[in-house]
Every structure is written in C-alpha cells, then in structure tokens.
Amino acid sequence: MGIPKIFGKEFLVMGILLSRGANRDELLESLTSGFGPIDEMSPEELFLWTHYYDGEMGEGIHRLFVLFRDPVDPSDLAGIKTRTDKLEFLFSGQEKRRVNLDPGLLAPGRFVLATTKDRAHRIPLADGIYAELTLIYEKGAFHALPWTYPDWASEPVTSMLARWRKKVFHRDHPELTT
C-alpha cells in the first residue's frame, strides 16, 4: 500500500506570445500581480515556429519565456491555467487574442504544460484543463517527447529550461532537489 505524500514544489514558467497590439509591460505587470515576482525572462524574439496563431493574432508575433521566482504547488496547475485564460481575454481586442499564455511547471525531472485541448497523452486535471508531460529531464538535459511542440523541443528552449532548473533546484532551493 502506498502512502500519499505532499507534492514537492515546482516552478511556474510562462510561454508568452505577443501580437503587435499587445502591451508587454502591462501584461508583465498583471502576471507579476497574479503569480509573484519574475526571476528571469528570456529575450523577446519573432515567433517563426508556426503560422497557427496568425489568423487570430496577426503576423509579427513575438515570443518570450518567464520564470517566476517562488515555487508553487503543482496541484494548482489547473487554477493557474484558468487564470491565464482570463488574462488572455482581458488583453484581447476586437474579439481576437493579443496574447497567448502557456503556463508550465518546471520540476527536477520534467516540464509539464497546461492546456485546454484533450489528446490521448494529456491527463485531465480540473475544470477542462489538462496536463501534458512536455519534456523529460535525464542524463543532464531535457528531452522532447513525440508530441512536444517544436518550439518547446528546440535546443535554445530546452537549454534555457535546464539552466533555470539548475538555478532554482540546486542553488536557490537545495531543499527542493529530489
């Protein structure tokens, strides 16, 4: 018989897509207000991985990633995604999204994204939100799975997440290392 244990803390990472009409500073202020201080932020760059969002958000979409400073309870992931969906709506214009927010959890052995889309490899959490195991950490690096989105599977993103993992679990929070 297994004995339930309290989940270890994980770190919130937000993938952000911004259209030309989005107010980046206002969005970052809202994210900080809702999820706490930002620890690190990637450079903003043109999002060239897919044209999936162009019809809704227009061309010239930019991407950046944010790591939040304070650890979170992983059982809060569905609630976090629900809150980011509300922020997307608040920042929308003329019934079109100006921002796309992809919250995920950075853990010592994995990276998990939250989504509203059901697929065979996604686990229902609550309120129409699913968890997707997106990357696995082994042998000193993050590795993609067959369903991992190409931008999340890219070397720059997996390296950034590995660096952030090392920072938060080994230097800043050694008590969270498993």
Question: What are 150's two structure tokens?
Answer: 């190409």
Domain ranges within the chain, ordered by starting residue: 10-170
- How far apart are the two ends of the chain, measured CA to CA in Å? 22
pLDDT digits (tens, 9 = 90+) for 64-108: 999 999 999 999 999 999 999 999 999 997 778 899 999 999 999
**Rg, C-alpha atoms of the chain:** 16
The strand pair at 10-18 and 62-72 is best described as: antiparallel
Average pLDDT score over residue span 122-145? 96
Per-residue confidence (pLDDT) for residue 178, from 0 to 100 = 47
pLDDT digits (tens, 9 = 90+) for 1-24: 889 899 999 999 999 999 987 899
pTM for this model (two decimals): 0.92
